[in-house]
Structure 1
């Protein structure tokens, strides 16, 4: 195992992996899984879903081992009361403050790793254009829905998935799942950087949140949500095959997230 690089609170690494790599690496990756992960893998009947799941589990284990002195097969995880997984209590002395969040969709797996922050990532394959407006009515705030409906064609799709991925990233960062009211927050994506506001049903401070949106190729969209006291956070993207030396920076996606100050935060 390589010498771990301790990630600092001022940095977030986002790992990107193609589930298609599972076709040649599945045997090695299966050796990393614990019993419950392997059982879940076996329950998947659709091959694409099996590949996404296995790639995700391999990515979590191998990426975390880049940042802590724990072998990939030795990681253990435990859920919070809402079901969100985190590093098991017994391993936290080896990885103090280390946090992660995983997302996968058709053709892409994304993992965000940070320290001492609330962190969420969502990635979506956007080649789905039916019923988007209907989904807006069901899941989005009224002004978000109006902003989507004001567009047509590809722009409508882009706006929809901007709100969708940002909302998913925030919900995942909070770690509360559907215990958060979907109408308790709303985004403004018209400016240079996304901003969020909260209703009384979802008390939170907009000033503590930073968001990032990225186009990953033609058909994937990614959003990152992070709450941290650090003034500036460098977001580094890495792409490659989990567990291999074929991990390289994807510099075109890199960003620096500065903490908003004053009224601009809301």
Structure 2
């Protein structure tokens, strides 16, 4: 997919008031409501509802349709895609962690996004050795104790964004390709039949790492924050 494309990225604050949250559930479809109901923790259920409502708002405004009318289905490897009359209009992806969500929309290219709340983990290098490529582990090992966790989560989001753009899901082993390790600028280093890729680091605020990955040489990537009153547009 080497042709030039454009991508829009939205960063969403999921810390909503009870009144704002009440506007989210009504625009979700039956499948999303069932998934939300299965979360044991109220915080996880709220984040799921809010992030999917934000996704529907963004898709709806891009298509000129009401958020509740957007039809979404699972692709061949489980990656969500537009269904019905809007099928193939553009590619999109959603990720959420903590109080942040990231939504990416791309025309003419596949897109993947990933955001992670940076949190303490006992042994980042042990996890990396079990899942990542050898060159990534070597680069991560050069970090100090103070920078290890941010670098680990930055690396994790770069790899997850690539996998999500591919639509490979859990079927793709993370050691089959390598990406650069923070603080190096994000880029794909090695992948069989890679083609053109663009990786972009996203600023979701202190305590978060996030990346967008596009399967193209992108001419324009626009990053914006969804306005704080976005739930009032859920009609």
Q: Give TM-score scaled by structure 2 length.
A: 0.89
Corresponding residue for residue 221 of structure 2: 234
Query: How is 1:183-202 mapped onto 2 (pairs within 5 angstroms)?
Result: 183-189=175-181, 193-199=185-191
C-alpha RMSD of matched pairs (Å):
2.0
- In the alignment, does 2:208 pair up with 1:220? yes
Per-residue CA deviation, residues 43-63 of structure 1 (Å, 9 max, x unaligned), is: 212011011100111011101
Larger RCO: 1 or 2 (CA < 8 Å, sep 6+): 2
For 1:79 and 1:141, the matched residues in 2 are separated by 29
Moved more, 101-110 or 25-34: 25-34
Q: Compute the displacement of 1:238 (Å).
A: 2.1
- The SS at the match of 1:156 is helix
- 2:59 is aligned, of 55, 64, 70, to 64
- In the alignment, does 2:77 pair up with 1:99? no
CA contact (8 A) 1:41 1:54 kept: yes
Corresponding residue for residue 252 of structure 1: none
Q: Compute the displacement of 1:173 (Å).
A: 0.4
Per-residue CA deviation, residues 11-55 of structure 1 (Å, 9 max, x unaligned), is: 322222222216322222111011111111112120110111001
CA contact (8 A) 2:151 2:182 kept: no
- 1:80 is aligned, of 75, 78, 81, to 75
Moved more, 219-228 or 149-158: 149-158
- In the alignment, does 2:139 pair up with 1:147? yes
CA contact (8 A) 1:22 1:55 kept: no
Q: Say if 1:11 and 1:53 are closer, same or farther in 2 by CA, change over 3 A.
A: same
Count matched residues.
Answer: 229
- The SS at the match of 1:66 is helix
- 1:205 is aligned, of 194, 214, 223, to 194
Task: Point out where structure 2 has 5 or more consecutive residues left out of the alignment.
Answer: none
For 1:181 and 1:107, the matched residues in 2 are separated by 28
For 2:187 and 2:52, the matched residues in 1 are separated by 31
